[in-house]
Amino acid sequence: MSPRTFNTVLQILLAIAITILSVRTSMSREVASDGRFVLVIPNDIEITSPDCDRSVRFSLSGALYQHFDYYLFARRLDGDIVVVSRDSELWRSPVLSLGSEYSRVFRLGSDSDHSAPARTLTLTRFDHEDTGGKLVGHAVMDYDRPLRQEVRRLVDELLSSFPSGRVQRAKSAGAIPTLVYLDSSFIEFNPKNWEEVTRLTLEYSSRAMQTEFDMGLQILPTRVLTGNLAMNRTFEQVFESLLRQLPPRGDTLVVFCYNQPVDDSLGGMASVRHELGRAQTGRRLVLLEGLPYPVDSDQLWLPFDNSQNLIHELGHALGAVHVSDIKSVMNPVATWYGTTRFDELNHQIVTAALEGELSFESKTGYLEYLSRSIEESAYGLCDFPSVLALYLEMGRGRSWRSRHLREAVASQWQINAAEGFLAMRMGRPALAAEKFKLSLEGARHQAAPVYYLSRVVDPDLGERIRRKAAAMGYYRAAECANSE
């Protein structure tokens, strides 16, 4: 072959290679946006959980919104999310409705026909030049996997092609001074990226509080402790030790991060832990557990989990109470749903605390505010029987204190529910059933007495009552085998 022929062949091969590379680059950027994008999610995507009562459905739309929101934040994607009704003009004509603010619109669809849970999610792109839409991605749910793992896989599969690092994370207008202590056990478990995990946890938590309460976290310099305070201590012992060693600092929130020792005989799995955090009402001190979820090998979602734990415990410090609501961050069990949002009752309580309208100087004062808030709220998923029972127990053996605590409770139906809970715990089902029935006469919209009543009557009747509580949205009544 002559040099001229060789050069000609080489040029042809080079042109072919450039063409192939160009095509591949174009394909890999099929969903990439040259500017800001928006993801439109319908509000009616539902799923069932393999570990729960199959008659109970959960909103996948809400879970996806929260997971997409974190994913965009963590990877610094230049996009927004909106949740809409399929009947809305925004769903039918997203480009026309949103105007020129976004360069591209992505609409998330599902194969759900509203009579069966969703299994396939699709991503359709709408350009300003072509409003017909083009299918650019899809993901199929695998119900054999834990739901927590599956939801996160779906999010990553649908958004992994989007260009990351496009925007700087906006800092919240901090109003809650936040001092973080990192125990050596936390750093030892996260030796490579503990700084990034901590920073992203605090930034996302601050953004969540800023979004809901217009008050983020003013993050002070992090302090690293060289001694392992958690060594050979229970979660409760560590927290009690912190209460003694770290005096109150006024409005400053003190967060202590550490990792519980893991039992190697159980495989070293993070899922064997029993407590994720602890706080005390009225005391701005939070103990936070930081173990990663076992399948999260790159720890992308660890700050998301930690943020939920931190906001939950901060909620307790500001007066929030447990609710049996999978859509609320104050649900006592970490679930696959994943949320940093408060329910309407606890939102009101935390707002009052942040604005100085709720005082924690006396237990009776706080109890009076809490009871009145429950009385006046239409929200029906608060676990108020167990909460109020705790305060009634504080007055045992002291008649004057018991009288003051009872007087602080706004209504007799709340007292009945709390007494029913105590009777149930003491093994007196007949008395408990009577008290729960009396409670429901005063507040039929409350699901907690319905659920607890189902536990103290005969099994057949109890099953029918339990299903009623589940239909009211009471998460514990869905009989989920685990939090996944």
Query: Domains of the chain, with CATH numbers?
Result: 37-159 (3.40.50), 174-317 (3.40.390.10), 363-478 (no CATH)
Average pLDDT over residues 372-396: 92
Q: What is the pLDDT of residue 355?
A: 93
**Does position 27 have pLDDT exceeding 60, yes or no?**
no
Instruction: For residue 236, count other CB atoms closer than 10 A to its CB.
Output: 11
pLDDT of residue 272: 45
| pLDDT tens track for 208-249 | 999 999 999 999 988 887 766 656 577 788 888 888 888 888
Contact 35, 100 (CB under 8 A): no
Whether 452 has a pLDDT exceeding 80, the answer reads yes
Averaged over 242-267, what is the pLDDT? 76
Q: Helical H runs in 355-428?
A: 363-376, 384-394, 399-408, 412-425
pLDDT at 265: 47
Element (H, E) at 453: helix 447-454
Helix and strand numbers (H, E) in the chain are 17, 13
pLDDT tens for residues 43-67?
999 888 877 887 888 999 999 999 9
394 C-beta neighbours (distance < 10 Å), count: 14
194 or 25: which carries more pLDDT confidence?
A: 194
The phi and psi torsions of 352 (rounded to 5 degrees) equal -60, -40
pLDDT at res. 267: 45
Percentages (nearest 5) of helix, strand, coil residues in the chain: 45, 15, 40
DSSP 409: S
| pLDDT band at 162; cut points 50, 70, 90 | confident
CB atoms within 10 A of CB 413: 22
For all residues of the chain together, what is the average pLDDT?
Answer: 84
Residues 198/222, Cβ–Cβ less than 8 Å: yes
Per-residue DSSP letter, 476? G
Instruction: Write out the H or E segment, with its range, that includes residue 215.
Output: none
Q: Which two tokens stand for residue 230?
A: 């958690």
Which pair of tokens denotes residue 236?
């409760």
Question: What are the DSSP calls for 64-132, one per residue?
Answer: HHHHHHHHHHHHT-SEEEEEE-TTSHHHHSHHHHHTTS-SEEEEEEE---SSS---EEEEEEEESS-TT
pLDDT score recorded for residue 297: 63
Q: Is the pLDDT of residue 14 over 60?
A: no
Assign 33 a pLDDT band (cuts: 50, 70, 90). Answer: very low
Which tops the pLDDT comparison, 218 or 480?
Answer: 218
Q: Which of 52-61, 268-277, 415-424 has the highest mean pLDDT?
A: 415-424
Give me the amino acid identity at 126: F
Closest listed residue to residue 40, CA positions, set 5, 73, 68, 76 = 68
For residue 292, pLDDT over 80 is answered with no
Query: 481: which 2 tokens?
Result: 């085998």
Q: For the ranges 138-142, 393-397, 431-435, which has the lowest average pLDDT? A: 393-397
pLDDT at 364 over 60: yes
User: If you average pLDDT over residues 15-36, what whole number do you get?
Assistant: 47
Percent of the chain scoring above 70 in pLDDT: 80
Triad 342, 346, 352: Cα angle to 5°: 120
Dist. CA 413–CA 231, nearest whole Å: 45
pLDDT of the residue at 18: 45
Q: 3-state class of 259 per DSSP?
A: coil
| Mean pLDDT in residue range 143-157 | 87
Instruction: Report the run of H or E that residue 437 belongs to, with start and end.
Output: helix 429-442
What three-state secondary structure class fits 439?
helix
Using alpha carbons only, give the angle 16, 20, 21 rounded to the nearest 5 degrees.
115
pLDDT of residue 147: 87
Of 112-116, 261-265, 401-405, the poorest mean pLDDT is in 261-265
